[in-house]
Structures are given as C-alpha cells and as structure tokens.
C-alpha cells in the first residue's frame, strides 16, 4: 500500500527516471530549466531526489521530454504522489538527517566506518543521551529526547524478525576509549556492542591504534546498498550543517575499496570481541 512506501527512496527512483528521460532526449539540465522557466538547480535537485516532486513537475517534464506513452506518465505521477507522503521519522518533527534515515530505512546492507564514536544503530539509550548532550550542549531536553527516540526507532532495522539490515561496522579504537557519559555508561555500551556483534547479520571489527595511518583518517562514512537493482548504492558523509551523498559509480567504488582496506587492517571478528571485552573490563575496574 502507498502508506508503506518509503518517500525518500520513491523520490530518488523518480529522480533517476526523470534524468534517464532527459538524457534520452539529449537535453542538458540547463536546457530543460530554460524551457520551463525555472532554475537549473531545481532540475538538479529533482533528479537527485533531494527535493519533493509534485505531479505538476512530472507533467511539465514529461511534456518537455515528449513522453507519449500515457502509462509511463501515470506511473511517474503515482511515484510523485507516493514521494510526497511522510515517513515514520516525520512524526518527530524537524530531523536534520531525515534524508539519511529514509535511505537507511530501505537499505539492504550498511557498511560503516566510525573513527570517534559507536555507530548510532548499536548505541545504548544512555550512551546516545550522553552523546547528544555532549555534542550539542545548547540542545533542549525535549530535543535531546526526540533525537534519542529517533535513534532507538532506527535500531529496529537491526532487530527486525524479517529482513533485518546487514550491518558491517569498523570502529576505530578511539570509539572504545572515548568516555561518553561515564565509565559505567561505557562498560554497558561495550557489553551491548559485544552482544549485538553476535547476531548473524552484524559484524563488528576494531581498528587498533597500532595500525597507524590508514585510509579512514579523513573521517566517518557509510555505504548504503539496496535490494532493488534500480537503486544505486550511496556513500553518506555526515557534516555539521549539511550532509553529502555520493551516488556516482566511481565515487562509491573508491569508498568501497577504502572500506576493504580498513577491514583488512582491522582485528578479525573474534579478536575484536576480545579487544572490546578487555576495554569494557578496564571500565569496570
């Protein structure tokens, strides 16, 4: 049913199809914008799925591209209707990374590198609360609670009975050593990390300090992959005021190769569990 459609993914698929139609017509985004008396940036945002697409937008673009098959037009119009629905996360108000949540909700697998913190999908509530308080000191208690609730809801993808997301995480040793909240919070967080790493669809590896320089020194990133072949993989780079999404094949490939190097340089799964356990015990002492 339409209510179960992920609007973020729907927008993305529709944008990809509109880009394909433009390229088949042999037109540039600038030419289309000139024909419709809109900005070139609007056409780009429609095609990359970062902007809501109205049925009027679809109708106008199909006119420019001379799409004669009414079934194609109707299909695109339906996608536009679905793309304007709200995902579960909209119930929490203005969430700064809502585009990412939409993609994560539909992803089949995630490969994450975290240099400083335990990744959000594996955080305990106490760790998440302390993290938001420390990272955003001017945030109100209500907004902190809202962010933590969203994070806990996102974790349902890990514990889902059917088709849970396949998660592979490489954590820098710094993420284990940085005390967030208190030593008690850290001990419970690391014990939770060990427990979650024993799920068949969750893999956690630790990248120890002794490795030295490595390909992940530029910072955190995630690679999202989807079950539908029509959805290309996405690299997500989190920013302070805005996020970056890379979808070009050569960009995704570059980050995928980097990830393979990080996995190869990390401790294996059993060594990682033991390493995390030893750090947790140090907090217990």
Q: Above pLDDT 70, what percent of the chain?
A: 91
pLDDT per position as a tens digit, 160-200:
988 899 999 999 999 999 999 999 999 999 999 999 999 99
How far is Cα 189 from Cα 169, in angstroms, rounded to an integer? 15
Q: SS3 of 234, please? A: strand
Residue predicted with more confidence, 11 or 183: 183
- Residue that has been written with the tokens 């356990």 in this structure: 277
3-state secondary structure of 170: strand
pLDDT at 136 over 90: no
Neighbours of 183 (CB within 10 A): 13
Helix (H, G, I), strand (E, B) or coil at 160: coil
Query: What is residue 201's predicted lDDT score, i.e. its pLDDT?
Result: 97
CA distance 232 to 247: 7
Instruction: Please report which confidence band the pLDDT of residue 1 belongs to, taking 50, 70 and 90 as the band edges.
Output: very low
| Rounded percentage of the chain residues whose pLDDT exceeds 90 | 49
Least confident span in 37-41, 80-84, 131-135: 80-84
Residue-range domain boundaries for the chain: 2-85, 89-284
Structure tokens, 152: 């806990």
pLDDT tens digits, 205-256: 999 999 999 999 999 999 999 887 667 788 999 887 778 888 888 999 999 9
Summarize the confidence of residues 142-167 as an average pLDDT.
92
Please give the Cα distance from 100 to 32 (Å, whole number): 28
The CATH code of the domain at 2-85 is 1.10.260.40
| Architecture of the domain made up of 89-284 | 2-Layer Sandwich (3.30)
pLDDT for 183 equals 96
Res. 3: pLDDT tops 60: no
pTM above 0.95, yes or no: no
User: pLDDT at residue 83 above 60?
Assistant: yes
pLDDT at 111 over 50: yes
Please say if the pLDDT value at position 2 is more than 50: no
Check: CB of residue 31 under 8 Å from CB of residue 54.
no
What's the confidence (pLDDT) of residue 45?
80
**Higher confidence at residue 83 or residue 129?**
129
Task: Find the angle CA(122)-CA(125)-CA(195) to the nearest 5 degrees.
Answer: 40
Q: What is the reported pLDDT for 55?
A: 86
- pLDDT value of position 254: 96
**pLDDT average, residue stretch 60-70:** 88
């Amino acid at each position: 049913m339409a209510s179960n459609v992920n609007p973020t993914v729907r927008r993305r698929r529709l944008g990809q199809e509109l880009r394909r139609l433009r390229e088949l017509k042999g037109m540039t985004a600038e030419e289309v914008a000139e024909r419709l008396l809109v900005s070139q940036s609007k056409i780009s945002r429609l095609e990359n799925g970062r902007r809501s697409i109205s049925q009027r937008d679809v109708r106008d673009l199909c006119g420019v591209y001379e799409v004669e098959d009414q079934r194609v037009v109707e299909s695109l119009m339906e996608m536009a209707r679905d793309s304007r629905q709200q995902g579960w996360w909209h119930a929490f108000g203005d969430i700064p990374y809502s585009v990412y949540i939409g993609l994560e909700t539909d992803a089949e697998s995630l490969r994450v590198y975290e240099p400083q913190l335990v990744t959000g999908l594996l955080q305990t509530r106490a760790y998440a609360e302390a993290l938001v308080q420390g990272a955003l000191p001017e945030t109100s208690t209500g907004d902190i609670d809202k962010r933590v609730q969203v994070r806990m809801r996102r974790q349902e993808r890990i514990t889902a009975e059917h088709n849970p997301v396949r998660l592979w995480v490489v954590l820098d040793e710094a993420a284990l050593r940085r005390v967030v909240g208190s030593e008690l919070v850290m001990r419970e967080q690391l014990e939770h990390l060990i427990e979650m790493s024993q799920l068949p669809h969750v893999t956690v590896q630790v990248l120890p300090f002794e490795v030295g320089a490595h390909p992940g020194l530029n910072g955190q990133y995630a690679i999202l992959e989807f079950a539908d072949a029509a959805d290309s993989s996405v690299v997500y780079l989190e920013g302070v005021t805005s996020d970056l999404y890379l979808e070009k094949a050569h960009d995704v490939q570059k980050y995928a190769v980097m990830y393979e190097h990080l996995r190869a340089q990390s401790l294996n799964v059993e060594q990682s569990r033991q390493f995390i356990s030893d750090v947790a015990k140090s907090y217990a002492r």
